[in-house]
Amino acid sequence: MNMRNTLTCLAAALLLMQGCASNKTENKYVLNGQLTGIPDGMVKLQRIDQTERKSITIDSVQVQNGKFTLEGDLSAPEMMTLMIEPGNWSTTFFMEPGTLQFEADTTGATHYDYTAYEGEKGAVLTKFNVKGSQNQAIYNAFENHPKSVAAKEVYTALNKKYEAEPNPEGKEAIRGEMSTFGEQHKVWELQCIDSLIQAHPSSVAVAYLLQRYQQFNEALPVSDLEKRVARLSSPAKESAYAKELQDVIVIKKALLPGQEAPNFKALKTDSTEFTLSALRGQYVLLDFWASWCAPCRKAIPHWKEVYAQYHNKGLEIVGVTNDSRWPDWFKALDMEKMPWLQVADDFPVKNRPARIATLYDIPSLPTYVLLDKAGKILVHTTSKEDIDAELKRIFN
């Protein structure tokens, strides 16, 4: 991104902020709402609990003639959900102490139906406006930037193209297009976030944008993430988003090269127990994969060659499947006939990532972790080329 784009991002944030009249009184908030298309019902203000992956209602009130007012206490700015029933109309925006004005129109809402997956029907409001929230203004500057808007249009077009493509090979090619475009766009995203950190280091919205970026781009080096978090100031640095990033930094530092790999136990295909530490004295490659992961399956012939080349020299491979259904795992094993150890990850908390994958901070599948004979981490990567280079260094 050139300097003109950076300044455009900043200018948009500053321009929007000029129209914000927060009228803050300690930690009190007043949210006055006007709904077009929803004359009556119940409106609920909900906190998003990322740990439990559920919404918690903190305030509610009746809608009368399309109007409502919510009043209460809020200690810090926070991204929240406004849910209107019946109909499950919803949208998310930044709440913060002060007097805020919310206006929404049901026209153009995005409808969804998850009843086939034991979910609900509802609609996401796309036409809404929030006045009085400086954090929402900064968030809007990012989301409404021409590059952000253009990227959403590209992703929408590629998704439609993917759904319409009948051939698996064609779908894989479109996935490649998505990946290539995503890599290019995330460079701009991070540079824009950097400009916002510089201009508004105390903004909770900036901490939120950084946390969201990291969540979907976990390959960001931990040293780079740590530098960005260190630039945040109060109240952003005390926000839940900054605290989550601090937790991420601790986890990622514990998995850097030279650190001892977390030990774990898991069940093998015959339901007997495997313990990672039992392989001390050998080089170990942990292959995090799943039967449904096309890139994982595509890489298997390569790892068969690697296993044949290095196994007798002291390399063991352990496949750690992310399959929650063992029949799918067994079917893939029968088809692929991998000659190395295979164990199953497990899911102790419903709707949460698998236990061992969480322990090893696995960003996506496939991911590979290479350990030395002492059980220390040599490489933690999504690239098989990184593993190949390290194995060549060790054994050749």
User: pLDDT by residue for the chain (396 residues), tens digit each?
Assistant: 454 455 556 554 555 444 444 445 578 999 999 999 999 999 999 998 876 667 899 999 999 999 999 999 999 999 999 999 999 999 999 999 999 999 999 999 999 999 988 889 999 999 999 999 999 999 999 999 999 999 999 999 999 999 999 998 899 899 899 989 999 999 999 999 999 999 999 999 999 999 999 999 888 999 999 999 999 999 999 999 999 999 999 999 999 999 999 999 999 999 999 999 999 999 999 999 999 999 999 999 999 999 999 999 999 999 999 999 999 999 999 999 999 999 999 999 877 899 999 999 998 999 999 999 999 999 999 999 999 999 999 998
Pinpoint the residues of the chain covered by CATH 3.40.30.10: 259-395
- Is residue 54 within 8 A of residue 213, CB to CB? The reply is no
- CB pairs under 8 A, 24+ apart, for 314-317? 314/282, 314/283, 314/373, 314/395, 315/282, 315/283, 315/284, 315/285, 315/391, 315/395, 316/279, 316/282, 316/283, 316/284, 316/285, 316/340, 316/341, 317/284, 317/285, 317/287, 317/341
Query: In this predicted structure, what is the pLDDT of residue 25?
Result: 55
Pinpoint the residues of the chain covered by CATH 2.60.40.1120: 28-131
What is the CB-side half-sphere exposure of residue 97 using CA atoms within 13 A?
Answer: 10
- Residues sharing a CB contact under 8 Å with residue 99, sequence separation 6 or more, in sequence order: 21, 22, 23, 29, 30, 32, 132
- Is residue 104 within 8 A of residue 79, CB to CB? The reply is no
Backbone angles phi, psi at 59, to 5 degrees: -160, 150
Residue 212 token pair: 């969201």
116: amino acid identity, one letter: A
SS3 state at 319: strand
CA gap 210, 224 in Å, rounded:
12
157: amino acid identity, one letter: A
Burial class (CB in 10 A: 0-12, 13-18, 19+), 79: buried
Using CA of residue 92, residue 93, residue 99, residue 104, what is the dihedral sign? negative
Residue appearing with tokens 């194995």: 391
Query: In this predicted structure, what is the pLDDT of residue 54?
Result: 78
Query: In this predicted structure, what is the pLDDT of residue 20?
Result: 47
Backbone angles phi, psi at 260, to 5 degrees: -70, 130
Q: The domain 28-131: what is its CATH number?
A: 2.60.40.1120
Given this structure, which CATH class describes domain 259-395?
Answer: alpha beta
251 C-beta neighbours (distance < 10 Å), count: 14
* Closest to 229 in 3D by CA, of 218, 239, 240, 242: 242
Residue appearing with tokens 């900064």: 138
- Is residue 392 within 8 A of residue 315, CB to CB? The reply is no
- Residues sharing a CB contact under 8 Å with residue 348, sequence separation 6 or more, in sequence order: 355
Query: In this predicted structure, what is the pLDDT of residue 147?
Result: 96
- Is residue 318 within 8 A of residue 288, CB to CB? The reply is no
